């Protein structure tokens, strides 16, 4: 008769919930949750095309959707909003990927949670909930990998002053203080070349 008091027995595992969450994360439900933004956008666009096709025709529905998308990307305000939100979605996926590749996860394979990510003036800012066994120092040791994974200039880590498990990852893409138009000075081309004192001029 097997001894159920053996600590290696799966019935005595104190981390059953962690194992269940890892199973869900790797399942189809976990994939749907990670790609919820893309699926919601695709579903909303498909529903809009379907409703317009019922009201008009499929050709005019596609023309109307193309005109709306063109207008969105032509206007600077809406284009900036869409592009920044798209970068937030991309950065969230890239952060989850770099967590896995750099082994910033628990022994059971659970990744830190990206609670919120929103655009800033220089890039994006993500609020991370660290799992047990992960701290802000782990993020600081992999700032180069985070910046490379998110296609950014650099990554800066800020630890919460109140809760040690909360970490802010600042993804810097652009320098707002840098000059956008560098005007070259024309004085350099007008300065005569310096004379060589060692040159002897013939009398």
Residues 128-183: pLDDT tens digits? 999 888 888 999 999 999 999 999 999 999 998 889 889 999 999 987 665 555 55
Cα distance between residue 195 and residue 154, in whole Å: 46
196 vs 74, which has greater pLDDT? 74
Arithmetic mean of pLDDT, 44-50: 78
For the beta sheet containing 166-172, the strands, ordered from the edge strand earlier in sequence to the opposite edge, are 113-119, 123-129, 166-172, 154-159
Higher per-residue pLDDT: 150 or 57: 150
For residue 194, is pLDDT > 60? no
Instruction: Please report the beta strands in 50-144, taking only residues with DSSP state E, as ranges in sequence order.
Output: 113-119, 123-129
Query: Coil, helix or strand for 124?
Result: strand
pLDDT in the model for residue 193 = 59
What's the chain's average pLDDT? Answer: 77
Helix (H, G, I), strand (E, B) or coil at 113: strand
How sure is the predictor about 73, in pLDDT bands with cuts at 50, 70 and 90? confident
What are the structural domains, with CATH classification, of the chain?
Answer: 15-74 (no CATH), 78-176 (3.30.980.40)
Q: What string of DSSP letters covers 170-197? A: EEE---TTS-SSPPPPSHHHHSPPPPPT
Q: What is the pLDDT of residue 47?
A: 81
Q: What is the pLDDT averaged over residues 45-51?
A: 78
Looking at residue 8, its pLDDT comes to: 45
Please indicate, yes or no, whether the overall pTM of this predicted structure exceeds 0.75.
no
pLDDT of residue 6: 46
Higher pLDDT, residue 96 or 45: 96
């Amino acid at each position: 008769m097997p001894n159920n008091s053996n600590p290696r027995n799966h019935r005595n595992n104190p981390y059953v919930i962690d194992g269940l969450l890892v199973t869900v994360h790797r399942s189809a439900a976990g994939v749907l949750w990670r790609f919820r933004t893309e699926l919601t956008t695709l579903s909303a666009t498909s529903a809009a095309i379907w409703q317009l096709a019922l009201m008009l025709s499929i050709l005019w529905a596609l023309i109307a959707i193309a005109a709306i998308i063109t207008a969105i990307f032509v206007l600077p305000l809406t284009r900036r909003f869409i592009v920044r939100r798209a970068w937030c979605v991309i950065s969230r996926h890239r952060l989850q990927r770099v967590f896995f590749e750099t082994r910033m996860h628990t022994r059971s394979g659970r990744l830190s949670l990206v609670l919120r990510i929103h655009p800033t003036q220089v890039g994006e800012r993500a609020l991370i909930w660290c799992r047990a066994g992960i701290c802000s120092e782990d993020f600081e040791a992999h700032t180069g990998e985070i910046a490379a994974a998110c296609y950014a200039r650099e990554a800066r880590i800020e630890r919460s002053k109140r809760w040690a498990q909360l970490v802010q990852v600042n993804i810097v893409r652009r320098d707002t203080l840098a000059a956008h138009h560098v005007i070259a000075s024309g004085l350099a081309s007008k300065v005569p070349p310096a004379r060589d004192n060692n040159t002897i001029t013939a009398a």
